Amino acid sequence: MGVVNGSWARAALPLCLLGILDGEPRSYGYALLSRLADAGLTGVKAATLYPALTRLEEEGAVEVEWGAGEGGPGRKYYRITEEGRARLRRDRAAWGAFTRSVASLLAEGDA
C-alpha cells in the first residue's frame, strides 16, 4: 500500500483507533501503532497517537487502565466504551458518505 497523506491519517486517526479497539478487548500504544502501520498508516507517530487517545478518553469514547508490562514497566491499556461504540457507528457512516462523495468528484475527471 502506498504512503498515506499525513494530514489525512491524523484526521482519520480517532476513527481508526476506535475501529481497532472495537475488535479487541484492550490494547496499548505500541500495539496500536503496529496495527495502524500494518494497515498502511505508517506515518503515525507516538506524538500524534497519544494526544488522540487522550482526547478520546476525555470525550468518554475510551477508558484507560494500567496493567503489568511484559517484563518491563506497567502499560497504559485502552478499551472502547459504549459511548465510543456509538461514536464509531456514527463516524463510520459519516466516513462512508464522505469517501463516496470524494470518489464521485474524483471520478468526474475520468469521464
Residues 1, 40: contact at Cβ < 8 Å? yes
Pick the closest to residue 84 from 16, 36, 33 (CA basis).
16
Pick the closest to residue 62 from 95, 38, 28 (CA basis).
28
Q: What is the pLDDT of residues 63-81, one digit of tens each?
A: 999 987 777 788 999 999 9
Q: What is the pLDDT of residues 49-66, one digit of tens each?
A: 999 999 999 999 999 999
The segments of the chain whose pLDDT lies below 50 read 1-2
**Burial track 27-57 (b if 16+ CB lie within 10 A, e otherwise):** bbeeebbebbeeeebebbeeebbeebbeebb
